[in-house]
Amino acid sequence: MERPKIFLRVGIRVAFAAAAWCEEGKPVVGIRTASHAFQGWLEFDREILGGDYKGHGGAEEAVAFRIPEKARDHPVLRGVEEWTGPCKMYRNPSIAADATVLLIRSGESGPEPLAWIRTYDKRKDARCFYTSMGLVEEFRTEMFRRLLVNALFWTAKRDVAARAVR
């Protein structure tokens, strides 16, 4: 028996609540499919996350997750080291000009941004973190979990802990 495909359909109330959250300048952390979570608000990807979702590539077994030199001292990367592992990439060829890329992947099809931060509303200092990662295998990686914990603290304007996540 084949498993049925189940898709989450976000209702209008949830979409309006998310829009109200963003209008208040509250922190946003987006993981993988957050880039196209609101079918009635497709601009969320560009306006809030700073992304440019254009589909995904095939699964790659040996992807190098690299930290750009100019991002190495960012608090979201505290305790995060470069690593290699499997990845099924979401393509974001033209992220927002005001985004700071924190992690890139170097694989078979060349380098692409994997994680970035930005302030989506400058007047409110509204912080956002997005990563196109988020597969089960990636959650098994200590560096990925550390990245997410740091992003939660940073977007909430709290000090990022220096200790590792286990």
Closest-CA residue to 55 (of 118, 109, 124, 11): 109
Tokens of 125: 């200092």
Q: Domain-by-domain residue ranges, the chain? A: 12-155
pLDDT value for 101: 97
Does 55 have pLDDT greater than 90? no
Pick the CATH number of 12-155 from 3.40.190.10, 3.40.50.880, 3.90.1150.10, 3.40.50.620: 3.40.50.880
- List, for residues 79-136, the tens digit of each pLDDT value: 999 988 877 778 888 999 999 999 998 766 678 899 999 999 999 999 999 999 888 8
Does 3 have pLDDT greater than 70? no
Position 161: which residue type? Answer: A
pTM: 0.88
Separation of alpha carbons 29 and 123, rounded Å: 19
pLDDT value for 135: 84
Tokens of 131: 């990563």
Q: CA 79: distance to chain centroid? A: 18
